[in-house]
């Protein structure tokens, strides 16, 4: 039961095909052999510099409230162009999500764009799957890109914005860059053709980079650490508990785990357990039951304490 709660997101991750690979290779050509202390210092400074002292909505809140990501990206472009690493990261995040989702539902391989009504009619004929409302929400968020060929083309630049943000030391961007690199290494491990940039310790370097970003307390960086958990000598339940613990902690730290968040929508497509519109924590609690959920909650608290005290060795033991 516990394992089923961590499998649903795998299919969504696998949508990172060529664009993710390009970003990973670009990341590797940038320096991944950075000293941990240097990364941590840069991450901490970046994380604290973007805290708003006024009642004006933060960039993250504006991203979450955005009805159309094309409009959101246009609004924050001056900040991103001027070097604001948070704006650069959110630009990359919005572009990436629409680039993937549009091709999954609305764009044919030949580039032809389907209307919302056409897609809804196609999926309505299937016994299970994405609902009309979910399709409408996805269409709305990517409508600006879908209606403009020029804007749609710009979604392919998400990796460039991610690299700018990561180079500037933004924790979430650093963590995503490391995740992209790990994804590329996984692809290469199944190929007989070695890549010129691949080193024997490349995955270890990527993991250290991700961990240094998570130490900042950034919720996006913490969330991505769940992808670095390995079974090793653990049981399936123990592995699932750790994966869920990292995600629960990210939710507690401010990661968007609400029913309308991009990743929850992706995980919950066709999943009747998500039908009540609850948060990820609600979904997890319902799926795991009392004791297993309590174990994950307890582990999340332990990981949080290790992040607070910068206990790197303990954090490594939970991967």
Residue 166: partners with Cβ closer than 8 Å, 6 or more residues away:
27, 30, 173, 174, 176, 177
In the prediction, which pLDDT does 65 show?
A: 95
In the prediction, which pLDDT does 54 show?
A: 55
pLDDT digits (tens), the chain, 319 positions = 444 444 344 334 544 444 444 444 444 444 444 444 345 444 444 444 444 455 789 999 999 999 999 999 999 999 999 999 999 999 999 999 999 999 999 999 888 999 999 999 998 888 777 888 889 999 999 999 999 999 999 999 999 999 999 999 999 999 999 999 988 887 776 655 555 555 558 888 999 999 999 999 999 999 999 999 999 999 999 999 999 999 999 999 999 999 889 988 777 776 666 656 688 888 888 888 779 999 999 999 999 999 999 999 999 999 9
In the prediction, which pLDDT does 202 show?
A: 84
Nearest Cα residue to 116 out of 147, 148, 152: 147
Give the residue extent of every domain in the chain.
4-317
Asked whether the CA dihedral 253, 165, 184, 213 is positive or negative, the reply is negative
């Amino acid at each position: 039961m516990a394992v089923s709660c961590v499998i649903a997101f795998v299919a969504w991750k696998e949508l990172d095909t060529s664009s993710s690979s390009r970003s990973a290779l670009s990341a590797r050509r940038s320096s991944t052999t950075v000293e941990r202390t240097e990364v941590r210092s840069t991450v901490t400074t970046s994380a604290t510099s973007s805290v708003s002292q006024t009642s004006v909505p933060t960039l993250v809140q504006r991203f979450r409230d955005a009805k159309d990501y094309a409009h959101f990206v246009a609004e924050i472009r001056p900040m991103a162009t001027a070097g604001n690493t948070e704006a650069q990261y959110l630009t990359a995040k919005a572009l990436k999500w629409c680039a993937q989702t549009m091709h999954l539902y609305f764009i044919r391989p030949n580039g032809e764009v389907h209307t919302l009504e056409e897609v809804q009619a196609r999926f309505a004929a299937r016994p299970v799957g994405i609902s009309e409302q979910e399709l409408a929400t996805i269409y709305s968020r990517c409508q600006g890109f879908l209606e403009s060929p020029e804007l749609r083309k710009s979604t392919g630049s998400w990796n460039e914005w991610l690299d700018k943000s990561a180079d500037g030391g933004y924790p979430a961007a650093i963590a995503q860059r490391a995740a992209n690199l790990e994804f590329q290494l996984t692809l290469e491990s199944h190929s007989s053709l070695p890549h010129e940039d691949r080193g024997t310790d490349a995955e270890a370097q990527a993991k250290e980079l991700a961990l240094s970003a998570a130490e900042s307390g950034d919720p996006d960086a913490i969330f991505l650490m769940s992808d670095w958990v390995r079974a090793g000598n653990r049981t399936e339940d123990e592995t699932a508990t750790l994966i869920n613990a990292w995600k629960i902690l990210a939710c507690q730290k401010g990661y968007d785990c609400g029913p309308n968040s991009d990743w929850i929508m992706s995980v919950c497509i066709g999943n009747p357990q998500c039908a009540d519109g609850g948060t990820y924590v609600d979904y997890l609690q319902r799926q795991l039951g009392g004791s297993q959920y309590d174990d994950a909650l307890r582990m999340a608290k332990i990981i949080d304490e290790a992040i607070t005290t910068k206990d790197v060795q303990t954090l490594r033991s939970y991967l």
